Structure 1
């Protein structure tokens, strides 16, 4: 230890000894409870900071080597990730200026997470979830037989359904830390087919269906750490639920006998308070899409944007039908990307568009050859 470092250590030890053991730190910004005056502690901290700054300057000039500057935070990427899949099933991920060949045993890529993307793999007679890296490799996250991943609103955790074995309906909902891969918490799920439909401020939304008598259709929401998921009452004919991490808005769909109704609202006092209902007789399969601010939803089959507060509708100006699954994805509050599929002579030819929900105008981003698929992922 150098003389300078010794003096710094002695100085910090001396100052630390002058702080009373009953002193409290400033706490959270929202904490308004009375406390002891903080200025003596803050003044001490300022003095220490000044000494540290001076010492770092001295130490920096003791030798010829200069400290490596910290790397700037990664900028938030614009646009959406998407995968182009050729007729042989080989995929290439595109995300901004990054292009990644999808490994042969990776079957789908669903969302950005950390410095990579959450993906599904099927390898050596097992399947599960993994983080795909920019160099084309991946690391599994969670145990085998896991599926239905959703990313937490802060992007730091992934929830998934972990089955007991391949093809099993039973299992548990487990949450894993993206950085370490460690399990954070878990809860048991109903003993019939269950998938996760999103994770927002309300919690993780769980969609359960029993495809045999008694034909149960149930909706639940779970706040990680709670002892059990809360069942949310839904009417007869419930078929799907969707949300986005950025908003508390939830859209459920219900079959009406001659079509589907989209019902948008939020959870209040354990029940869905519906703000807007939109029904369409021509919809055969309803997979609604919600904007990042929760104010708009897309009826893909009808190419229709519904403004949830006002009920105003806007028709998207597209020459071909929208592919309803995999679903379109909102980039932000006003822009949604959709994949369309041509008919007639150009059948099986897919195109990617970016549409403005306020005007209905759509811009063509790319068109693929016949037999190629475009699959969007969440940002």
Structure 2
């Protein structure tokens, strides 16, 4: 997520709390914690579009790294496309200032006026950014019984869950605070490690088997990958670009070329360099992009298409409406992606925010077929968490 989008996120969260309160059932948080982190799509063009539509949907995600074996990239398997409930935690946010966290059989109603974004499974529940809009957002643990327990300093942001769900990483929300990545133990809340960083507005992108991926706004093409207890390394993306996604298999997706906001480049990392394997350019600015856990395909919500990163083949997703511009796509596994669509635009009227009808689909990225998973509800927004 770039600085523009970060400021937009904070603006939208405030709007959400003043005008718009915010392959099967996924396992409960005590049973399985996953290993992929969803991050904000860093595309300036999208931020401009979002400023018009004033979307409150925010996600980023830590998800199960499910592999597709030795089958060709994007090839169909025997797994069927169903309308089963999402295996990714998500928030249901309504205009009456009520917010509910839904994850498999769990439905956690938050106190009125309290909202959560980027919910990820951790030991004993979920970690999320919790806030009311007027007081800002801070990391907290949501228990399976609905209790909310702040974790880390109030000035920290962007909680990122470790692959085993036992720890979280955060960075300062105030650029004047010491720049560092700090790790906290989920159960005890104690700080267990930290890494000093050059003074900058820091971003956390992913926590994979390779470590924590982070960058700063001043040099967003320079990535720090820190493996707590083992050290760090620096990776240089092409000038002017920044990380969009990182898979568990080593594929990374970079975007934000200054003059090509509709393009993304997939590749691998060799030493400290990014090695290009596939470039994709959509018809519009990249919106709601996600990378499959196995790194073989990506979905571009703006073009409503999945792209095979091995062959370059493009499969159109059979969706009736536009994809929510802000983080409307998240992979459940390497075969299926969840997609939030909206019919029309959000708009304000007489000091009231009108939310365009939204519904959630599950799409087979190999065939383009999609099925409704969560139907549209009146004045309701769906916000993906982290699998």
Matched with 2:140 is 130
Matched with 2:238 is 235
TM-superposed CA distance for 1:206, in Å, is 1.3
Ranges in structure 2 where 5+ consecutive residues have no aligned partner: 1-28, 34-85, 347-353
Contact 1:193 1:208 survives alignment (8 Å) = yes
- Cα distance, 1:352–1:312 mapped onto 2, change above 3 Å: same
Matched with 1:97 is 105
Matched, 1:156 2:166: yes
TM-superposed CA distance for 1:310, in Å, is 2.1
Matched with 1:322 is 323
Contact 1:157 1:176 survives alignment (8 Å) = yes
The Cα RMSD (Å) is 2.8
Matched, 1:275 2:284: no
Matched with 2:340 is 339
TM-superposed CA distance for 1:254, in Å, is 2.9
**CA deviation string 1:263-315 (max 9, x = no partner):** 112222111222221123x3335553111222111112111111122222211
**CA deviation string 1:59-82 (max 9, x = no partner):** xxxxxxxxxxxxxx9544971111
Q: 2-side partners of 1:336 and 1:252: how far apart?
A: 20
- Cα distance, 1:236–1:367 mapped onto 2, change above 3 Å: same
Matched with 1:355 is 363
Contact 1:186 1:224 survives alignment (8 Å) = no
Q: 2-side partners of 1:313 and 1:330: how far apart?
A: 17
TM-superposed CA distance for 1:227, in Å, is 8.8
Q: 1-side partners of 2:355 and 2:164: how far apart?
A: 40
Q: How many residues align?
A: 298
Matched, 1:111 2:120: yes
- Cα distance, 1:366–1:105 mapped onto 2, change above 3 Å: closer
- Cα distance, 1:109–1:238 mapped onto 2, change above 3 Å: closer
Contact 2:221 2:239 survives alignment (8 Å) = no
Matched with 2:210 is 202
Q: 1-side partners of 2:317 and 2:206: how far apart?
A: 25
Q: 1-side partners of 2:97 and 2:197: how far apart?
A: 33
Matched, 1:219 2:228: no
Which structure would you say has the larger Rg? 1
Matched with 2:376 is 368
Matched with 2:93 is 85
Ranges in structure 1 where 5+ consecutive residues have no aligned partner: 1-72, 211-215
Contact 2:266 2:279 survives alignment (8 Å) = yes
After superposition, residues 14-93 of structure 1 pair within 5 angstroms as 75-76=31-32, 79-93=87-101
| Larger RCO of the pair (alpha carbons < 8 Å, separation 6+) | 2
Contact 2:172 2:202 survives alignment (8 Å) = no
